[in-house]
Structure 1
Amino acid sequence: MTSTLSRRRFLKSTAVGGMAVTASLAIPGLSRASSRPIITHGLQSGDVDTQSAMIWARTDRPSRMLVEVDTTDSFANPRRLAAIDALPESDFAVKRLLEGLPSDQEIFYRVAFQDLNDVKAVSVPMVGRLRTAPASRRDIRFAWSGDTAGQGWGIDEARGGMKIYATMLKHRPDFFLHSGDTVYSDGPLKESVELADGTTWKNIVTPEKSKVAETLNEYRGQWKYNLLDANLRAMNAEVPTFFQWDDHEVVNNWSASKDLTADDRYTEKNVALLAARAGRAFHEMTPIRYQPAEPGRVYRKIAYGPLLDVFFLDLRSYRGPNGASMETEMSDASRVLGAEQLAWLKRELATSRATWKVIACDMPIGVIVWDDWKAQAGAEAVANGDDGAPKGRELEFADLLRFIRAADIDNIVWLTADVHYTAAHHYSPDRAQIQDFKPFWEFVSGPLHAGTFGPNALDKTFGPDVKYVKAPDESQGANLPPSMGLQFFGLVDIDGASEQMTVRLMDVADQELYSVTLDPVRKG
Structure 2
Amino acid sequence: MTDALSYQHETAQEMRTAARVNRRRFLTVTGAAAALAFSTNLPTAHAAQIRPKDITEDPFTLGVASGDPLPGGVVLWTRLAPRPFEPGNGMAQGDVTVHWEVARDERFARVARRGAATARWEFNHTVHVDVQGLDAGRVYWYRFRVGSWTSPAGRTRTAPARGAALDRVRFGIVSCQAYHQGYYTALRHLADEDLDAVFHLGDYIYEYAVNATGGDRAYTDRTLPSLFDRETVTLEDYRLRYALYKSDEDLRAAHAAFPWVVTWDDHETENNYAGDTPENGVPREEFLIRRAAAYRAYWENQPLRLLQRPSGPDMRLYRRFHYGRLAQFDVLDTRQYRSDQAYGDGWQTPGPASEDPARTMLGETQERWLLDGLRSSGATWNVIPQQVTFSRRRNVPGDGYKLSMDAWDGYPAARERLLAGAEQAGADNLVVLTGDVHVNYGFDIKRDFDDPSSRTLGVELVGTSVSSGRNGSDRPASYDNQMAANPHMKFFNGRRGYVTTTLEPQRLTAEYRTVDHVTTPGAPVKTAAVFVSEAGDPGLKPA
* TM-score (normalised: structure 2): 0.73
Question: 1:108 is paired with a residue of what secondary structure?
Answer: strand
The answer (yes or no) to whether the contact 1:162–1:449 under 8 Å persists in 2 is yes
Which residue does 1:35 correspond to in 2? Answer: 56
Q: Going by fraction, where is helix more abundant, 1 or 2? A: 2
Which residue does 1:468 correspond to in 2? Answer: 491
Letter in 2 for 1:494: L
Measured after TM superposition, the shift of residue 368 of structure 1 is 5.5
Which residue does 2:346 correspond to in 1? Answer: none
Give the alignment partner of residue 169 of structure 1, picking from 191, 194, 204: 191
Measured after TM superposition, the shift of residue 167 of structure 1 is 0.9
Question: 1:487 is paired with a residue of what secondary structure?
Answer: strand
Measured after TM superposition, the shift of residue 518 of structure 1 is 1.6
The answer (yes or no) to whether the contact 1:250–1:275 under 8 Å persists in 2 is yes
The answer (yes or no) to whether the contact 2:98–2:118 under 8 Å persists in 1 is yes
Counterparts of 1:30 and 1:380 in 2: how far apart (Å)? 48
Task: Show CA shifts across 1:476-505 (max 9, x none).
Answer: xxxxxxxxxx2121110123xx54210111
Task: Show CA shifts across 1:242-265 (max 9, x none).
Answer: 111011111111124435369xxx
Which residue does 1:488 correspond to in 2? Answer: 497
Which residue does 1:354 correspond to in 2? Answer: 379
Determine whether 1:424 maps to 2:442.
Answer: yes
Counterparts of 1:30 and 1:97 in 2: how far apart (Å)? 22
RMSD (Å), alpha carbons: 3.2
Pair 1:380–1:368, CA change in 2 (3 A)? farther
Pair 1:434–1:277, CA change in 2 (3 A)? farther
Which residue does 1:235 correspond to in 2? Answer: 254
Which residue does 2:106 correspond to in 1? Answer: 73
Which residue does 1:130 correspond to in 2? Answer: 156
Which residue does 2:265 correspond to in 1? Answer: 246
Measured after TM superposition, the shift of residue 318 of structure 1 is 0.2
Letter in 1 for 2:409: A
Determine whether 1:446 maps to 2:464.
Answer: yes
Counterparts of 1:194 and 1:356 in 2: how far apart (Å)? 40
Which residue does 1:149 correspond to in 2? Answer: 178
Question: 1:246 is paired with a residue of what secondary structure?
Answer: coil
Counterparts of 1:290 and 1:335 in 2: how far apart (Å)? 28
Q: How many residues align?
A: 439
Question: 1:56 is paired with a residue of what secondary structure?
Answer: strand
The answer (yes or no) to whether the contact 1:307–1:355 under 8 Å persists in 2 is yes
Matches within 5 A, 1:150-299: 152-153=180-181, 161-191=183-213, 205-255=224-274, 256-260=276-280, 270-291=286-307, 296-299=315-318
Measured after TM superposition, the shift of residue 289 of structure 1 is 2.9
Which residue does 1:15 correspond to in 2? Answer: none
Question: 1:235 is paired with a residue of what secondary structure?
Answer: helix
Question: 1:279 is paired with a residue of what secondary structure?
Answer: helix
The answer (yes or no) to whether the contact 2:337–2:363 under 8 Å persists in 1 is yes
The answer (yes or no) to whether the contact 1:140–1:494 under 8 Å persists in 2 is yes
Counterparts of 1:67 and 1:220 in 2: how far apart (Å)? 23
The answer (yes or no) to whether the contact 1:500–1:518 under 8 Å persists in 2 is yes
Which residue does 2:415 correspond to in 1? Answer: 397
Measured after TM superposition, the shift of residue 73 of structure 1 is 2.1
The answer (yes or no) to whether the contact 2:429–2:457 under 8 Å persists in 1 is no
Question: 2:302 is paired with a residue of what secondary structure?
Answer: coil
Pair 1:95–1:208, CA change in 2 (3 A)? farther
Which residue does 2:331 correspond to in 1? Answer: 312
Which residue does 2:507 correspond to in 1? Answer: 500
Counterparts of 1:499 and 1:400 in 2: how far apart (Å)? 24
Give the alignment partner of residue 106 of structure 1, picking from 132, 139, 156: 139
Question: 1:85 is paired with a residue of what secondary structure?
Answer: strand
Letter in 2 for 1:507: T
The answer (yes or no) to whether the contact 2:514–2:525 under 8 Å persists in 1 is yes
Pair 1:270–1:77, CA change in 2 (3 A)? same
Which residue does 2:536 correspond to in 1? Answer: 521
The answer (yes or no) to whether the contact 2:52–2:96 under 8 Å persists in 1 is no
Letter in 1 for 2:511: R
* TM-score (normalised: structure 1): 0.76
Counterparts of 1:434 and 1:344 in 2: how far apart (Å)? 30
